[in-house]
Structure 1
Amino acid sequence: MAKDVYYFSHDVNASNDPKIVAMESQFGVISYAWWWKLIEKLASSDDYKLPFKKYTFIALDKELGILNENERPFNENERPFNENEHNFFCSNESFLFINSLIHDFELLDCDDEYFWSPSLIRRQEERRSKYEKKQEQRRLAGIKSGEARRKKEQKRTVVQRDSTVVEQNEQKERKEKEINNIERDTRAREDENPLSMFDDDEVKNKPIYDLYMKAIGDVSPVIKDRLDDLVESYGKERVIVAINTTADNGGNSIKYVETVTAGNLKKEVQKDFGASKHNGNARNVSRKKEEVDWQAEYERVHGKG
């Protein structure tokens, strides 16, 4: 039986125990000191027991300070050693004392191998049980505390994650709101002035877009790019003429403007080719470029609206 404590309980009124009183009556008050020194020896031994051997009692004579028979007067009331009870003869005073504690005062118990104090073992077992119970309570409390900390940490993590999600959602909502505000403001400007989308210093063909909107229809980014391509390929004057021709003929698409522009250029080429046929020297005469007053055309269409 392993020991995990280094003391034992001692009743404050132990000296009033009838068995202790009888022991003192038999062996004197000094036996009270022998008794507690013996209990201390048992408490520090394995399983709280001592071997019922002759060497044990020889050692106890010295440890307890008990005088042997030659050093103290013989007490006629002392219980003599009974050889039938044990398989050895022992005349040690400690043996006589312990043998009397076992058989006369029932303070100790024994078998063929060991002797012990039932009261000491019971008290130590009770103390051991309380100690183990307390240790188990501490262990369970530690587990419970650890679980509480883990749950608290998990809750903190969830709160932080939720907070992060909320912040991300708020940022997303703010960004979407800003985009919506920009789009709303842009639409408002476009509703007020459809050409406001082209209010850029780098826009060079705004009069063309304006003419197209007044004469044919709305100018989308795609139509804008196609008008830019026409101006780059054919020149502003030809595109203005094509837009006016499209409007006069009831056309309503950029495709129509592109077709008219290309057709007008073809007619110009054929005209130049026919003139050179009647005049062999036409190759050396430059054809005067037809000047188109696009501002007048633009005003004409505006006045028409």
Structure 2
Amino acid sequence: MMLIGVNLSGLEDGSTFSTRAYFDYNVPTTSLAESWISLGCLAARIPHNLYRMQPGGQGTALDTTYLGYSTTLAQPCLTAGGFVIFDPHGFGSIQTSGTTVDITTTTGQTQYIDYMTRLAAGIKDWMGDADPSRVAIGLMNEPHQQTNATYQPLWNTVIAAMRTAGYTGVITVPWTDWQGAQQFSASNPVPAVTDPAGRCVVEVHCYLDPDDSGAGDASTSTTIGVERVSGLLASTLPDCYSGIVMGEIGCPADAVSAAALKNTLTLLNADSRVLATTVWTTDKWLINNGNYITTDQTDPRVEAMLSCLST
């Protein structure tokens, strides 16, 4: 059965180079994670800002306080037997010293490999002897500057570096087009990666607004999400993947949008390859976004989430 959960957002908020907790960005509380867990929502995706995680840049240690925000949020989910994803929100870039560089450039790739190696080592130390199938690190949130053919060798290089660092958990693999699920089909399947540990999954995103942007606009059809994920679900995954994660999905609470969400979650839940789905949740920086959702069980979107848990 597919796990349902939320993005515990906030750590990625604000401008790229802002670093003041509770001022430039929000730090979600463990009570937020626990409130979703109490409903049976055991998956958690925890976005973070790469610059805040490694403010000194290439060759320097991660910021232990900032890393601790992520691991503290993850602990209740892991304790409850759930699935947690640590996700670098860089959109295909990495930042240092006030500069942003594409991770596929020579400079960017070197820095990115250093970053991911340190992140993998930090999460490895935190997870200890926990079940490695319950902990994931995303390679990058929504890369979009390059083609899948350009990203593929970089993903392979970074996966190898993370495994060399001793990380044995899951690695979620993004692809271009903002990780849009609709780019894949039976005739255009997900590209393969090479992983010596064999714990990779595909992570895709699917918003239910007209342009799939996540801006929070209402759906125009109750089948819009089904149409966007059907091609992926009709395709065959390469053997290197153990499943699929829907890392971001969301819509407003109007009747058409809520029905679109329920139809999409129902379809995803019926495919045994889909391991988890995480929607966006309470974040004061996003309160005016239509995707904003709380644990209110009368919200039709929450009803849709919980209905999948009971099937």
TM superposition score normalised by structure 1: 0.18
Q: Higher helix share goes to which structure?
A: 1
Rg larger in 1 or in 2?
1
Higher relative contact order (CA 8 A, sep 6+): 2
